[in-house]
Every structure is written in C-alpha cells, then in structure tokens.
Amino acid sequence: MTAPLLEVRDLVQEFPVRGAGGVRGGVVHAVSQVSFDVRAGETLGVVGETGSGKSTLARSIVQAPRPKSGSVNFRGTDLVGLRHRDLVAARRHLQMVFQDPFGSLDPRWRVAELVKEPLVGYGVRTGRRARVRELLDLVGLAPDVFGSRRPHQLSGGQCQRVAIARAIALDPALVICDEAVSSLDVLIQAQVLNLFERLRSELGLSYLFISHDLGLVKQVSDRVAVLHLGQLAEIGPGQDLYRHPLHPYTAALLDSIPGLDTRTGKARRPRPLAGEPPSPLDPPSGCRFRTRCPRAQARCAIEQPVLVEQRPDHRVACHFPLEPGMLGERDALR
C-alpha cells in the first residue's frame, strides 16, 4: 500500500492562559492526541462545532505554532523536527488557503504582485511573468483584466481565487483549506468549490478541507474526520459516515442539518445539539462528549475512548457506538 501523503500522530497543542498579574490561569487543551492520514489525491474533510480545534489543528500541522507533542510526517519527513530553512523548504509543498480572503492579501499590492510573491520568496527566477498569467488563468481570472487590480477592487470570491492562485504557485502536493469558503455567499461558494475540484483533477492536488458546514464537506470530501473539543471522534468514508454515523456526536451534528426525513420523505426541522460544549480549559474526564451524550455510562467518565475500526476504513472513539438502523437512539440525541 502506498504511504500516506500526510501522517499526523498523537498531535497535542495546548496554550497556557495568564490571569491577572501574569498568574497562570490554566491551559487550553486545543488539540489532544489527534491522529489521521491524508492520502495522495484525496480530500479529507474535517468538521466540528466552533471551538472544536479545527483551525488550531491546521496551523499546528504547518508548525505555526509548533505543537506541544506528536508528529506531522509529510512526504516522509517529520515537520516537527525541522528548523528554519529545512522547515521553509518543506512548506513549499504544503500550502494554506485561509478563511478571510481580504485579510490574507496585502491591500497595497496588485494582484500580479500578490501571485508572484511565493515565486520570489522561494527563489524562482525564470518565467515568473508567464507563471503568474498561467495561475490567474487557472483560477478563472483574466490576467490582463485583474493583474493590475488591488484587493479592494475585487469581490470576495475574486480575492479568494487570488489566494488560491498563490497557494498553488509552487506546485504543492497538499493544500489545507481552513474555512476557505465560509465567508462567501452560496453562489460563490459553489463556484469556488468547483474550482477546488477542477484543480485537484488537473494538478493532482490533495486537500485537507476544514469547515463547520457539514453540507459543504459532504460535497467535496472522500473521507470525513469529526473533531470534538480537540479530539477525533470519528473518521471514515464520507458516504458511509453521513448515512451511518457511529459516534453520537456525529449523529447529533447530522441531525442539525436542514433536509428531508429519510423515513417520511418530508422536510424536517434541524434540531441543534442540546447543551453547551464543555470548556477546553477544563474538559470532562474520560469521553469529552459524555456530558451531552444520552448513551453515556459510568465507564465514559473514567476511561477515554480510543479510535477503533468498527467498519472497513471507518473508525470511532466511543465505548458505545451507534449501529446502522438505531433510529431511536438518534432521536434521543435531538
């Protein structure tokens, strides 16, 4: 079997909190013992509620900031152990597209300069102008029209296309999309998602696609990972996970999406997950979802569940996972 493009193992990211007078006020457990792979040519979606650690996970993978512990093996090299020039060289093939297209672009620079910047930074000296034109064409922006404009002269979707052009300028193997379409309206979202898919087909890209929108993730992902309070709850093939979730948290997230009731064929109201998420400053013992889970038992407070393969290529971290057809159990989560 071909080795994964990206292997994340036992990744931990924590941030100390300072109180009044500089006194230590605790630790935010942002990412806790997260492990997963991204395979060459696939899109792995990462979903979860706001505050689940999705963006922190993305930034920890690219070592900005470095994780407290764990490993991030990218194309056979552990990024955690790299320093300075070696890390910069490895990042050439690992790029990010951020949520805010306006915030990620220097407002003083013209579009052609923005797209050229990665080429200059990595010492590409020949063919820059032709490469910039090629990149703008790839993302659907006419070079002669948009090359001389500045970000404030572009729409949100056009700015995000410029950001995508910058991300693919150095022919990366993996692009991390951190809520890359969440600030765009629905029509522009669809256009940008189609662009991501076309670039994956034409350039052989892989994506780590992070979003709080389960509907978007379903459209673009081959596999989906569900993050809850900094821990991986479930990971598996997209179609299987959406049809037959194994973790009660995943089922609750899916039940919060507007859509049709599979039993009646009628529209159903989205039913948000009951209760407030625990604080990452003081997460519950054992399973971090147990305080909102109707299936929780005494074991859940004592023993932290680990990811176990329940179905082919489908793993879940739950002592009492759901099974296909357990509609009554899913109703109890609503």
Give me 56's structure tokens.
């922190």
| Long-range contacts, stretch 304-310, CB < 8 angstroms, 24+ apart | 307/35, 307/232, 307/235, 310/246
Percentage of the chain lying above the pLDDT 90 cut: 74
Dihedral sign (CA 247, 250, 256, 261): negative
Residues in CB range of 298: below 8 A, 6 or more apart: none
pTM of the model: 0.90
The amino acid sitting at 162 is V
What mean pLDDT is predicted for residues 176-189?
90
Contact present, 132 and 147 (Cβ < 8 Å): yes
Give me 163's structure tokens.
């950001």
Average model confidence (pLDDT) for the chain? 90
Helix (H) or strand (E) holding 71: strand 69-74
Secondary structure class of 255 (helix, strand, coil): helix
pLDDT in tens, 71-102: 999 999 999 989 889 999 999 999 999 988 88
pLDDT in tens, 43-77: 999 999 888 999 999 999 999 999 999 999 999 99
Cα–Cα dist 269/248, whole Å: 19
pLDDT at 264 over 70: no
pLDDT in tens, 286-317: 999 999 998 999 999 999 999 999 999 999 99
